[in-house]
Amino acid sequence: MAQIFPKNANTLPVLSLAGVLFGGVLVVGLVWYYFSPEFVDVGYAPEQPVEYSHRFHVSELGLDCRYCHSYVEVSPHANIPATETCMNCHSQIQTESLKLLPVRESWATGNSIEWVKVNFLPDYVQFNHSAHVNNGVGCETCHGRIDQMEVVYQEEPLSMGWCLECHRQPELYLRPNSEVTTMGYVHPTDFVEQNVERIAQDGIVPPTNCSACHY
């Protein structure tokens, strides 16, 4: 006689329980993943049109960041240098190099090199380089050891939680303005006390209200 319920129907409640549990775990997992700093593109290192090495130009040649990113102290955006900046040297150095062919082409045609952006914030977030650099936040704190990178990658999560971690306790991060482009900066042992003093003196108050970062 045909059974109304197949014999293995007994496993159904077990399966659905498992389903609920698994679904729960999945939701928790997704929420955790989405809100965890690792969700964002740490390590993103797009291929660039020219094999330009920060390691070589910063560590070996000793160029300061502001030689190329010259607006970083006065503007919300840190500019990528124009081809002319490269040609200051490369009109005389390595003039036959194939690696520099796109640079010479750009110089000859006037079309800029199409560098690929590495660090991104969504459009609904306000960010201003000069407000940070002029208040003692080092490039290194947000971008890592650029002086060791052959290819630039995103070092920090750039997530809301990450921004707020510093905005709530800036004394743990600031350095003297004269050191903002220093790579491998070592804080003196009493730097927190020094920062607390400076923060009070200069009235440094990183905002934590929503509208400061989101219009």
> Residue 158, interface with ligand HEC (CB under 6 A)?
yes
CB 187 within 8 A of CB 138: no
When the beta carbons of 22 and 71 are compared against ligand HEC, the nearer one is 71
Pick one of 119, 177, 187, 192: the residue that binds ligand HEC (CB under 6 A): 119
CB 138 within 8 A of CB 181: yes
> Residue 59, interface with ligand HEC (CB under 6 A)?
no
**Residue 33: CB partners within 8 Å, gap ≥ 6?**
39
> Residue 43, interface with ligand HEC (CB under 6 A)?
no
> Residue 67, interface with ligand HEC (CB under 6 A)?
yes
When the beta carbons of 16 and 36 are compared against ligand HEC, the nearer one is 36
CA distance 173 to 166: 7
Backbone region of residue 175 per phi and psi (left: phi > 0; alpha: psi in -120 to 50; beta: other values):
beta
Pick one of 41, 70, 81, 194: the residue that binds ligand HEC (CB under 6 A): 81
Stretch binding ligand HEC (CB under 6 A), from 5-13, 17-25, 167-175, 189-197 = 167-175
> Residue 175, interface with ligand HEC (CB under 6 A)?
no
CB 117 within 8 A of CB 45: no
Distances (CA, A) of 34 to 40, 66, 119, 174, 189: 8, 35, 18, 29, 36
Handedness of CA 125, 152, 51, 128 (dihedral sign): positive
Pick one of 126, 176, 187, 194: the residue that binds ligand HEC (CB under 6 A): 126
Burial class (CB in 10 A: 0-12, 13-18, 19+), 65: buried
Query: How near is the Cβ of 104 to ligand HEC at its closest, in Å?
Result: 10
Pick one of 91, 97, 112, 148: the residue that binds ligand HEC (CB under 6 A): 97
Query: How near is the Cβ of 6 to ligand HEC at its closest, in Å?
Result: 45
CA-wise closest residue to 151 among 11, 54, 37, 56: 54
Pick one of 106, 107, 173, 175: the residue that binds ligand HEC (CB under 6 A): 173
Pick one of 42, 104, 118, 176: the residue that binds ligand HEC (CB under 6 A): 118
Q: How many residues lie near ligand HEC (CB under 6 A)?
A: 75
> Residue 107, interface with ligand HEC (CB under 6 A)?
no
When the beta carbons of 2 and 61 are compared against ligand HEC, the nearer one is 61
CA distance 127 to 163: 10
